[in-house]
Amino acid sequence: MAALKYAGMDDTDSEDELPPGWEERSTKDGWVYYASHDEMKTQWEHPKTGKKKRCAGDLPYGWEQETDEKGQVIYVDHINKRTTYFDPRQAFTVEDVVVKPKRYDGNTAALEILQGRDLSDKVILITGGNSGIGFETARSFALHGAHVILACRNLSRAIKAVSLIQQEWHKARVEAMMCDLASLRSVREFAESYKAKKLPLHILVCNAAVCTQPWRLTEDGLESTFQICHLGHFLLVQCLQDVLRRSAPARVVVVSSESHRFTDLLDSCSKVDMALLSPTKKEYWSMLAYNRAKLCNILFSKELHRRLSPHGVTSNAVHPGNMMYTSIHRSWWLMTFLFSLARPFTKSMQQGAATTVYCAVAPELEGLGGMYFNNCFRCLPSIQAQDQSSASSLWELSERLVAERSYPLV
């Protein structure tokens, strides 16, 4: 109290008044601690309130922090020509409160999650970023300074998407690159082109997908929904994993769907069945193929995290939203009609991008992965999606499939 009076700041709050024998002091960097002269001890917590405090702001005008001949910190008031061991900022201390992460939900927009964030030191790659949720994801990152690369099948549409973002902010660093997930050769060529840029890769968003496609085989002899939604992304990560590891801490976000709950991948012997993943035309049903591909996404993310997390690369899978009106359903008029009816009651594209963005940048998820998120909240996927043996089996099968289709690059 005498020190407060001496400094001309003797107004105190009764709750914060110290018991007899106690003194309030501060460290050189402004953290407040308490000394008991009777018990000859110091502690960070206020002896009455139990709160921790720190000094707020800079020293008042005219004050300067110095060190005396004994090495103790002293405060010099040059205006009033006096010296004290009392930090004048202690009259304006603030409680040291642990800031809890903000809680987001299904109404949250991607730009809201990124509010105040500077991503200028991040390089982010997004597949299928020229439209829909992928475009809003790319736009949100780019408007916060990230270097964003759109890996798309249709290069002209991707270039148009780049132009739209740069019209909104002329300093946006966005570029388009050709990558057709329906061609394993194209994926490998893209990976080589990316590596030639000598860029790091901090965030990889596996976003591209197709739904309600008529049955067709890719040039690699596999059913197109399975290859575009899963195997193309699997190969992409395989080809870029050395870049991800060098860029650690790095994150992979795999866009899945709640529809993964309505299918399975196992045969009668509880093994991942290739005939289910890439069925014949006779056995094909487009929605079932999509559901299976989305289950693959979660299993892939789970196993990817297990394998790469020791190297600083984490992976999580997300569900963006139900029946969102994007171009994904363009192949079937009936689905387009149903999605149109549901459109007023579903998320916007910005809201659909939110969970992806959250998993890509949330500080509380640093080093954490192998999880599934919906509405920016961790939830449990289906029983099979949690099965480690299924995840490992799918990974091994995927490795064989891409190895068997390893063609020389032109």
Which listed residue (290, 325, 358, 372) is catalytic?
Answer: 290
The answer to whether 64 and 76 are in contact (CB under 8 A) is yes
| 172 CB neighbour count, 10 Å cutoff | 21
Handedness of CA 193, 196, 197, 198 (dihedral sign): positive
**29-to-42, 112, 121, 225, 359 alpha-carbon distances in Å:** 17, 33, 28, 58, 34
For residue 37 the two structure tokens come to: 């002269």
- Per the annotation, the verdict on 34 as an active-site residue is no
Cα 120 off chain centre by = 15
CA 184, CA 400: separation in Å to the nearest integer?
A: 13
CA 74, CA 26: separation in Å to the nearest integer?
A: 11
Provide the edge-to-edge strand list for the sheet that holds 173-178: 173-178, 147-152, 123-127, 203-206, 250-255, 313-319, 371-374, 377-379
> Looking at this protein, which amino acid is placed at residue 269?
C
> What is the CA angle 337-338-339, rounded to 5?
90
For residue 86 the two structure tokens come to: 């009392």
What is the set of active-site residues? Answer: 290
